[in-house]
Structure 1
Amino acid sequence: MLEKYLPRQEFSSYEDFRANYRVCIPEHFNFAYDIVDGWAELQDDKPALAWIDDHQAEISRYSFGDMKRLSNQAANLFKAHGIVKGDTVLLLLKQRVEIWICLLALHKIGAIAIPASFQLKSKDLVYRFQAASVKMVISIDDPELLANVDAAHAECPGVQEILLVGKNIPPGRVDFRKELAKFSADWQKPAGKDYPCLHDPMLIYFSSGTSGMPKMVLHDHTYPLGHIVTAKYWQCVEDGGLHMTAVDSGWAKFGWGKIYGQWICGAVIAAYDFDGHFLAEKLLAVMQKFRLTTFCAPPTVYRFL
């Protein structure tokens, strides 16, 4: 897979790398179709994701074939709920498996995904809902987060629907998992101008560390190819190796380290969806259980470890 996009992978020096590193960008590149579905067509059972949380003893494992089928189901779900190319969908999913499923499904439709932190308060959500004209929200069922989402929704009638992920869905709310099960894993790929690719918008992050309120940073469908260099030459992931980046899905580092470049390189994403506050002892135990090949984390996490 990698050789399609990176014809030369070995370099004799940093100078050689700077002068000769080239990424091939296909005319109609779409990460979900070309990489995830592409791996599934080459080897349906090729491992893609290894996932664990604080409530299960065994690791759940998903192949690229699984991710293709689940994202097709989710694409059909989104389409049935009125999501079309260009719509914005905000994701508050921590490290639930649904974050990967939803991102891929939205990429297939051409809707714009907005990953966001579960730490956001109602005023932060109001700002994001309004600034990005958010049409739908997918959120975990955490009561405190849901209260903030509902408070923000009351001020933002443009948000048409909120779907919830979890085991404790309040009565009268839409259960994403139950809804997903209703839909087929056969997805009709868009054609012509409806096909999302290249410079069509794909992803929005709200930046931090700037003056004033966070600013929207828009990425198009070439963005995943930009992180080949991150995965292969910084994180040094291996095809078939287990890679963990310690980060929540609401941060841009998730895009750098937990989906795009890693799957292009054929690595298996290792995810630990922990409850509450970060505890180094728990992460170390999970790392030992996974028997990781490569690992990446912010400096603060390294210091705790």
Structure 2
Amino acid sequence: MEIPSDKELLATDKAGLDKLKVALEISGFKEKQKSDRVRYRQETLRLFIIAVFSGIITFGSTYFQKSTERRLKKIDDQETKLQELVLDLEDNSISQQAKYGIICKISRLKVPTDADTSFINSVADYEKKCEESRKFADQIDKKSAAAQNNSKTIDTTRTDVKARLAALDQSDQQEARLQNDAYAKTATGQKAALTISKQADSLLKSAPSSLQAASDASAGISGIVKQRIDLVPDKPAESAATFYRVQWFKKGYAIQVGHIYFTLLDLDRRQQTIRVKACYTNTPFSCEHPLETSGELDIRTPLLFSYGDKQYELSLKSINHAGKNPFTLAAYVALKESQK
């Protein structure tokens, strides 16, 4: 409402001034209402904005919390799975072949980028082991196939071939013995080590090319088999037991592992079983104290026996080629020694 000037007000009578006063009061009331409505709308909008932002913050906080909980649970689940699988690797009732599968199963665990460094590194180590295991398996398969395929073309009824195979067998027996460090350091062992290679080369020099190829393939397998077995060692970090390294021997052969002298009596590759004779001895490669044991074990079930205050566990790790004679297979075994 437009307010009159002072001159106009002086010229206005009392009745006019009363009307003007009422008009001003009405106009002021309306202005106040308008102002109140504006303030109300502004306050309502402010409260709405606060409520919206509060809701967004609450939702975001809840979502972040739930997301963090899910992420941490996923990490915990994967770490628990890793621990379970590592325990399986230390279980001798699980076959060596199955353990290679466990290594690769660990390598496939999904590791969040923000997981604990030790967890990330552990899984990465098993990824490398899985790759190496597959690489070794391919090499073993190729060499085994070469040994078998070349062997098929060899006439084992020929007198000269029989003589060479018999001599190669003797060479393999000496090589099997040399796996024992104590024996390898003796004068006899050192002499054997020097002559084995020369004898084998001499025997194969004039042999049929197929026998040479088969022999070379067979001889190259044992080192790869041992390397693959070593990817999953039996020894837990906290164990106080003694775990001897893997050795191989063929039917009729003997090996010395610690104080235990083993002779391989029989071997069945199809059934993955072997039968051994065990003796306790203080003299290398001699049976001083025969041990009462069934002597039978397979790829999943170790042979348990004891002597004095010691408990022993012999595990069959693999049956494959070894040594220069491609017509005979070898059992790869590992021995664990512990206090009763």
* Larger RCO, structures 1/2 (Cα 8 Å, 6+ apart): 1
**Which protein shows a greater Rg?**
2
Range class of TM-score, shorter chain: under 0.3
Instruction: Give me the TM-score of the superposition, normalised by structure 2.
Output: 0.25
Larger helix percent: 2
